[in-house]
Amino acid sequence: MNKYPVHKTDAEWKAALSPDEYRILREAGTERPFSGKYNDHHAEGTYVCKGCGEALYEASAKFDSGCGWPSYDKSIDGAIEYRKDSSLGMLRVEILCASCGGHQGHVFEDGPTATGQRYCVNSASIDFKPGED
């Protein structure tokens, strides 16, 4: 049984997402570095899960890590689930949307800010909601 509040059948996910979004969000894929639309995106607002619309990261937490993917030094409290990932012959921490289980990317302990964290996120797994002016 699905433990997430938002759940869809595989067919519903495929209908709602582009092939790349599906591959990344539902099959833990990744996009090529420096190819995502939010890598070099700088606006006030909130980044939300592309799968369910849940708020995940505030724009104020975004920084330029130079790694080729959007990077944040923290997530919104309770928005992210953390899972050990030993694929590719290394130990990493996978980050998923806590509402729908959509793969976001990985979090690393090498961030340059006070949190020491770098949430390395696929642009295809998020959308952006501009802030109120």
Q: pLDDT per residue over 42-100, tens digit each?
A: 999 999 999 999 999 999 999 999 999 999 999 999 999 999 998 878 899 999 999 99
Q: Which of 49, 97, 100, 120 is flagged as catalytic?
A: 120
Cα 30 to its chain centre, rounded Å, is 10
Q: Residue 1 has what pLDDT?
A: 46
Q: What local confidence, expressed as pLDDT, does residue 2 receive?
A: 63
Reported confidence tier of residue 3, pLDDT bands at 50, 70, 90: confident
Contact 95, 106 (CB under 8 A): yes
Alpha carbon distance 61, 15 (integer Å): 31
Which CATH number does 10-130 carry?
2.170.150.20
Distance in angstroms (rounded) separating the CA atoms of residues 123 and 104:
9
Of 88, 90, 95, residue with least CA distance to 72: 95
Active site residue 100: no
For the chain, the domains span 10-130
- What is the per-residue pLDDT across 20-38, written as a single tens digit (0 to 9) for each? 999 999 999 999 999 999 9
The per-residue pLDDT for 131 is 86
Residues of the chain with pLDDT > 70, as a percent, come to 97
pLDDT attached to residue 90: 84
